[in-house]
């Protein structure tokens, strides 16, 4: 299976309803883009039009390697002159009385082309597609949620365990495959000199990335790794928390499936921080055993008020992690916090359709025939379309 061989293979459109006004406090636009990162484009529009970037309101982030349609607002006092580019288009819709904020959308509509399917795999895909709206898919957080996780290590777990030096060290010295080579080399320098950083300046090490400066200068001043940790930008620290909390929630869902679904129906699919558990089929009886929702883990969670199944799953996951609910009370020390909320256990795609197997023009070579499917469906905000493709294609 191959996804996103072309930007046109992954199309996303925000679904929302607005009461458009003849005049109002904010101008509303549709942004259509291809292979363009949202924040980067907004920064360019900000610079070109002298509009502070914080004045742009968006409802959600959209994939870069895709064709997307999303809404955004700017205050009415500003004039927006579009950049002359072929990879995006701005359409003025009218006026609204409220700035768009993250989460201000109803759902997303997807059109996804899944390629490089062998002939012997097409029947299985069709069978799963026939039941997807009945037995759904586990509502996991997918790999996109875990961009802050490197080497499958969670900075927030180090916070929970009060290992603040490890949290800072991981942030400053671990590299992803996508980072510029120069930054990787600089991180390796920091790692090699970690135990002697108090006696060295970053200019001595020829560190050009400005991120470590404030963090390590704070440590030199205070000899306190917690104080140094707080110098990491707030938006990144929030990402560390949400990533670990999302991972724990995924692990709880896996425990629930192991308890409620016939083991012969279960199979694993890898994602960037481990594996997810899916089912080939689900009986009506099994579906009744699966709770409608389970809670995300935080110190405010009263575990004794949960159902026996949810309590079992959470206790098992916490034991595996070597932590307790009390350990999640980190707000006073770090300024970050975990919050309990409900999330549906199963994910049902709306308006779902799938094409018949079509010849894949990109991957068919000579007698080696490959097929593609075109999927169309909608999902509520905060859900992951790639979970649906994992459910159907086992990858």
Q: Which domains does the chain have, with CATH numbers?
A: 1-9+108-119+349-395 (no CATH), 17-105 (3.30.70.3160), 155-235 (no CATH)
* Catalytic residue selected from 63, 104, 142, 360: 63
Q: Is the pLDDT of residue 244 over 80?
A: yes
Q: Is the pLDDT of residue 302 over 90?
A: yes
Q: Is the pLDDT of residue 71 over 80?
A: yes
Q: Is the pLDDT of residue 25 over 70?
A: yes
- Residue 302 a catalytic site member: no
Q: How far, in Å, CA of 87 to CA of 395, rounded?
A: 30
Residues 51, 55, 58, CA angle at the centre, nearest 5°? 120
The pair of three-digit structure tokens given for residue 362, joined into one six-digit string: 């990109």
Q: How far, in Å, CA of 131 to CA of 392, rounded?
A: 10
- Confidence (pLDDT) at 264: 95
Determine phi and psi for 129, rounding to 5 degrees.
-65, -30
Q: What is the pLDDT of residues 98-135, one digit of tens each?
A: 999 988 889 999 999 999 999 999 999 999 999 999 99
**What global pTM score does this model have?**
0.91
- Confidence (pLDDT) at 353: 98
Determine phi and psi for 347, rounding to 5 degrees.
-120, 120
Q: Is the pLDDT of residue 84 over 70?
A: no
Q: How far, in Å, CA of 165 to CA of 210, rounded?
A: 19
Confidence of residue 179 (pLDDT cuts 50, 70, 90): confident
Report which of residues 178 and 228 the model is more confident about: 228
CA 201 vs CA 198, 207, 248, 344: distances in Å: 8, 9, 38, 50
Looking at the chain, the whole-number percentage of residues with pLDDT higher than 90 is 81
Confidence of residue 395 (pLDDT cuts 50, 70, 90): confident
- Confidence (pLDDT) at 60: 84
């Amino acid at each position: 299976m191959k996804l996103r061989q072309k930007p046109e293979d992954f199309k996303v459109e925000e679904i929302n309803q607005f009461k458009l006004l003849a005049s109002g406090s904010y101008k509303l636009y549709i942004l259509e883009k291809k292979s363009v990162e949202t924040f980067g484009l907004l920064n360019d529009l900000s610079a070109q039009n002298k509009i502070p970037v914080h004045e742009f309101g968006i409802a959600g982030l959209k994939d870069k390697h895709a064709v997307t349609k999303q809404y955004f607002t700017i205050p009415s006092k500003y004039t927006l002159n579009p950049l002359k580019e072929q990879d995006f288009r701005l359409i003025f819709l009218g006026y609204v009385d409220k700035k768009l904020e993250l989460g201000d959308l109803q759902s997303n509509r997807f059109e996804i082309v899944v390629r490089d399917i062998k002939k012997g795999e097409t029947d299985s895909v069709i069978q799963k597609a026939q039941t997807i709206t009945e037995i759904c898919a586990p509502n996991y957080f997918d790999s996109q949620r875990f961009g802050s996780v490197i080497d499958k290590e969670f900075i927030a777990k180090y916070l929970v365990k009060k290992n603040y030096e490890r949290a800072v060290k991981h942030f400053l010295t671990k590299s992803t495959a996508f980072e510029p080579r120069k930054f990787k080399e600089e991180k390796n320098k920091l790692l090699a000199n970690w135990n002697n950083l108090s006696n060295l300046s970053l200019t001595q090490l020829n560190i050009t990335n400005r991120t470590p400066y404030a963090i390590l200068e704070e440590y030199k001043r205070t000899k306190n790794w917690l104080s140094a940790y707080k110098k990491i930008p707030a938006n990144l620290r929030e990402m560390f928390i949400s990533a670990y909390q999302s991972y724990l929630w995924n692990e709880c869902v896996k425990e629930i499936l192991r308890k409620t679904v016939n083991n012969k129906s279960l199979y694993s699919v890898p994602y960037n921080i481990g594996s997810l558990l899916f089912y080939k089929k689900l009986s009506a009886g099994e579906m009744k055993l699966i709770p409608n929702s389970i809670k995300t883990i935080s110190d405010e969670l009263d575990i004794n008020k949960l159902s026996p199944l949810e309590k079992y799953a959470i206790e098992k996951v916490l034991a595996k992690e070597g932590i307790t609910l009390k350990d999640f009370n980190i707000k006073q020390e770090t300024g970050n916090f975990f919050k309990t909320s409900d999330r549906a256990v199963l994910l049902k795609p709306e308006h779902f359709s799938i094409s018949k197997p079509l010849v894949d023009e990109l991957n068919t070579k000579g007698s080696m025939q490959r097929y593609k499917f075109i999927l169309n469906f909608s999902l509520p905000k905060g859900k992951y379309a790639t979970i649906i493709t994992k459910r159907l294609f086992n990858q």
